[in-house]
Chain A
Amino acid sequence: MENKKKLVIGVIGADVHAVGIQILDHAFTDAGFEVTNLGVMVSQEEFIAAATETAADAIMVSSLYGHGELDCRGLRDKCNEAGLKDILLYVGGNIVVGKQPFDEVEVRFKKMGYDRVFGPGTAPEETIACLKEDFNL
């Protein structure tokens, strides 16, 4: 029980899409993770504060309204600043404006410091599989 990997999840920025994050909460919890769900309209600072108190192993950022590229920038730097040095960062959803080739988007977000980037329509199972791989579970 104490050894469960801890995730902090939430929808970043001025984004009020409230349904998907609940689905992810259930999916990750069922998959054996300990989930702290910050809900919608979460700032970078809130992700970091929650991850600090809960000693989280990963921060999972959702963005569905197309402004993710602005909202997500700088999170890795702030994590480093806050002492969350090796924390895993995932991002997923409709994270950019319009339809852009996903491989380009992925490169841009990886440059920002995200370990994994997921496009629209990703099933929770896929993300869970990646988590298990990254945590060697």
Chain B
Amino acid sequence: MKPILMIDFGSTNTKVTAVDLEEGKLLGTAASYTTIQTDINDGLENALKKLHEKLGGELDYAAKYACSSAAGGLRMIASGLVPELTAEAARQAALGAGAKVMKTYSYELTDDDAEEIAAIKPDIFLLTGGTDGGNKDNIIQNAQVVAGIDADFPVLIAGNRAAVRTCQKILEESGKQVMITENVMPRFNELNIEPAQSKIRELFLDRIIKAKGLSQASQLISGIMMPTPAAVLAAMELLSKGTEEQKGLGELVAVDVGGATTDLYSMTDGAPDRAGTVLKGLPEPFAKRTVEGDIGMRYSAAGIVEAAGMKRISLLSGLDEDRCWELLDLITEDTSTMPDTDELKAFDKALASMAVKTGLTRHAGTVEKVYTPMGEAWVQSGKDLSRVDKIIITGGSLIHGEPEDVRDIASHALYNLAEAASLKPRNADVLVDKEYILSAMGLLSQYEPDIALKIMKKELISYGTAQ
């Protein structure tokens, strides 16, 4: 046996996953509750103790890898020039790097914006704007505003290459740590976010780990600390594309409904299915992540109700509307409420269904029929997910449910006639991350992609087809 350990430092949980590399199988998982007050290392110790009780003894790990979303995760601010162009590209870059995007700015930063940025105090500020050789004034102006902000955070410059040196000088003179990388949009509508993402990861390692009290833990760890969402994204990409030796599952979407936010992932180029469709907007990355900050099962339950309407929740849960409002108050007041009554179970199921529906609707692209003097034409913006036939369900609030309940909830991710313009999947097999291993497999994928893929294929349990 050659055991290795993967650790996921979360804001409420520290999760450990042990894998035997020799046999290429999962040995076990365990989690321990942590709070902001508890030392992150205590959480790790407790989780390990639990794991070793399960496994019947301590293991001698050949390596330990970790990812983290503790202490609020990787908090970033993105800025660009035009909202739907460089500002959006910057936002995409940050999201794909696993960051929590606190705010995205476009055009010139104002003094009010500067105050807001100082208050947010991001872990990284991503400064972009202008295509290469394009607009220079805006990014330079914004560099000046950022330089004037009295808060200590590093700035990553990924804008017009003709302006980066000027921006660097301005920012360095103000004492800010500066990193430079390739433009997120070197030519109009050309997305180039990978270089920025790898710099974000470097900065995360260098600086954020130390700042967030993880450095003590990191001495025990042999490699790659990355933001947890970046690990999940890596796992999903591997599961979709496969390796040289093993086939992947092909196009898929994944939904992670958490207590405060809902993360969505899609692995597909999302190209139009219909001939003669005109694509609008930025080209979409194959591996795309979006986060819905207002959609979650506890802290953001009110956001679900706002998006879906309490009438819908009442209808789905079979509870009357007044009771639903009472339950909503209950769970938002005490966010640790577990669904331990039939009533709360029904309510949670309705909330989860609407969380999945709202999240997928926002993640998926749309298509619009346009009547032109030459006949009908279609205009698509965003990703076409209609051919995608697999939905991965992960996240603590969903994976422990009964198979038929989870399948029902997942079915709300699908296309329906009432929103014909939304390009959501038509039919999909529901695969559930029952052991909650995706972030661990994302870490493992950086070293042993074949083993990570093999384990995911085995451990993701099919709950049938959602319709």
Q: Are A and B bound to each other?
A: yes
Q: Are B82 and A14 in contact (CB under 8 A)?
A: no
How many residue pairs link A and B with beta carbons under 8 A? The number is: 64
Residues of A within 8 A of B374 (CB): 16, 65
Q: Are B133 and A66 in contact (CB under 8 A)?
A: no
Q: Is A31 an interface residue (CB 8 A)?
A: no
Residues of B within 8 A of A50 (CB): 85, 188-189
User: Mask for A53-89, Cβ within 8 A of B = 1, else 0?
Assistant: 1111000000001110000000000000000000000
Residues of A within 8 A of B133 (CB): 2, 6, 34, 54-55
Give, as a whole number of angstroms, the nearest-CB distance from B82 to chain A.
Answer: 5
Q: From A36, which residue of chain B is reached at the shortest CB distance? A: B188
Q: Are A14 and B135 in contact (CB under 8 A)?
A: no
Q: Which residue in B82, B162, B278, B371 is a CB contact (below 8 Å) of A52?
A: B82
Give, as a whole number of angstroms, the nearest-CB distance from A74 to chain B.
Answer: 19
Q: From A48, which residue of chain B is reached at the shortest CB distance? A: B82
Q: From A43, which residue of chain B is reached at the shortest CB distance? A: B280
Given contacts A40-B278, A41-B379, contact A53 B188 (CB under 8 A): yes
Given contacts A40-B278, A41-B377, A54-B134, contact A14 B188 (CB under 8 A): no
Give, as a whole number of angstroms, the nearest-CB distance from A71 to chain B.
Answer: 12
Q: Is B69 an interface residue (CB 8 A)?
A: no
Q: From B370, which residue of chain A is reached at the shortest CB distance? A: A14
Q: Is B56 an interface residue (CB 8 A)?
A: no
Q: Which residue in B185, B189, B377 is a CB contact (below 8 Å) of A16?
A: B377
Q: Are B373 and A67 in contact (CB under 8 A)?
A: yes
Residues of A within 8 A of B136 (CB): 55
Q: Are B130 and A53 in contact (CB under 8 A)?
A: yes
Residues of A within 8 A of B370 (CB): 14, 41
User: Mask for B187-205, Cβ within 8 A of A = 1, else 0?
Assistant: 1110000000000000000
Give, as a whole number of angstroms, the nearest-CB distance from B169 to chain A.
Answer: 19
Q: Are A54 and B131 in contact (CB under 8 A)?
A: yes
* Cα–Cα distance between A113 and B162 once the two chains are bound (Å): 31
Given contacts A14-B370, A41-B370, contact A55 B84 (CB under 8 A): no
Q: Is A15 an interface residue (CB 8 A)?
A: yes
User: Mask for B392-432, Cβ within 8 A of A = 1, else 0?
Assistant: 00000000000000000000000000000000000000000
Give, as a whole number of angstroms, the nearest-CB distance from B274 to chain A.
Answer: 14
Name the prevailing secondary structure of the A interface residues: loop
Give, as a whole number of angstroms, the nearest-CB distance from A35 to chain B.
Answer: 10
Q: Bin chain A's interface residue count.
A: 20 to 34
Residues of B within 8 A of A34 (CB): 133
Q: Are B131 and A14 in contact (CB under 8 A)?
A: no
Given contacts A16-B377, A41-B379, contact A54 B372 (CB under 8 A): no
* Cα–Cα distance between A15 and B372 once the two chains are bound (Å): 7
Q: Are B130 and A55 in contact (CB under 8 A)?
A: yes
Residues of A within 8 A of B371 (CB): 14
Q: Is A123 an interface residue (CB 8 A)?
A: no
Q: Are A49 and B84 in contact (CB under 8 A)?
A: yes
Q: Give the residues from 261 to 281 in chain B that come closer than 8 angstroms, CB to CB, to chain A.
A: 278, 280
Q: Is B354 an interface residue (CB 8 A)?
A: no
Residues of B within 8 A of A38 (CB): 188
Q: Give the residues from 360 to 374 in chain B that come closer than 8 angstroms, CB to CB, to chain A.
A: 370-374
Q: Are A53 and B372 in contact (CB under 8 A)?
A: no
Q: From B137, which residue of chain A is reached at the shortest CB distance? A: A55
Which of A6, A14, A52 has the most chain B CB atoms closer than 10 A to its own CB?
Answer: A52
Given contacts A39-B278, A41-B379, A49-B82, contact A55 B373 (CB under 8 A): no
Residues of B within 8 A of A54 (CB): 130-131, 133-135, 188
Given contacts A40-B278, A50-B188, A53-B131, contact A16 B82 (CB under 8 A): no
Give, as a whole number of angstroms, the nearest-CB distance from A64 to chain B.
Answer: 10
Q: Is B81 an interface residue (CB 8 A)?
A: yes
Residues of A within 8 A of B130 (CB): 53-55
Q: Which residue in B134, B189, B278, B379 is a CB contact (below 8 Å) of A55?
A: B134
* Cα–Cα distance between A67 and B374 once the two chains are bound (Å): 12
Q: Is B86 an interface residue (CB 8 A)?
A: yes
* Cα–Cα distance between A38 and B281 once the two chains are bound (Å): 10
Residues of B within 8 A of A2 (CB): 133, 162
Q: Which residue in A6, A8, A14, A40 is a CB contact (below 8 Å) of B373?
A: A14
Q: Are A49 and B134 in contact (CB under 8 A)?
A: no
User: Mask for B108-143, Cβ within 8 A of A = 1, else 0?
Assistant: 000000000000000000000111011110000000
Given contacts A2-B162, A40-B278, A41-B379, contact A53 B185 (CB under 8 A): yes
Q: From A56, which residue of chain B is reached at the shortest CB distance? A: B134
Q: Which residue in A6, A39, A53 is a CB contact (below 8 Å) of B82?
A: A53
Residues of B within 8 A of A56 (CB): 134
Which of B130, B280, B371, B372 has the most chain A CB atoms closer than 10 A to its own CB?
Answer: B372
Q: Which residue in A8, A36, A52 is a CB contact (below 8 Å) of B135?
A: A52
Extra contacts besides A54-B131, A55-B135 (16): CB < 8 Å? A2-B133, A2-B162, A6-B134, A14-B377, A15-B372, A36-B188, A38-B188, A41-B278, A41-B370, A41-B377, A46-B280, A49-B84, A52-B82, A53-B81, A53-B129, A65-B373
**Can you report 28 residue pairs joining A to B where beta carbons are below 8 Å apart?**
A2-B133, A6-B133, A14-B370, A14-B372, A14-B373, A15-B372, A16-B372, A16-B377, A36-B188, A41-B278, A41-B280, A41-B379, A46-B280, A49-B84, A50-B85, A50-B189, A52-B135, A53-B82, A53-B86, A53-B131, A53-B134, A54-B130, A55-B134, A55-B135, A55-B136, A56-B134, A65-B372, A65-B373
Nearest 8 A/B pairs, CB to CB: A54-B134, A14-B372, A55-B135, A36-B188, A55-B134, A49-B82, A54-B131, A65-B373
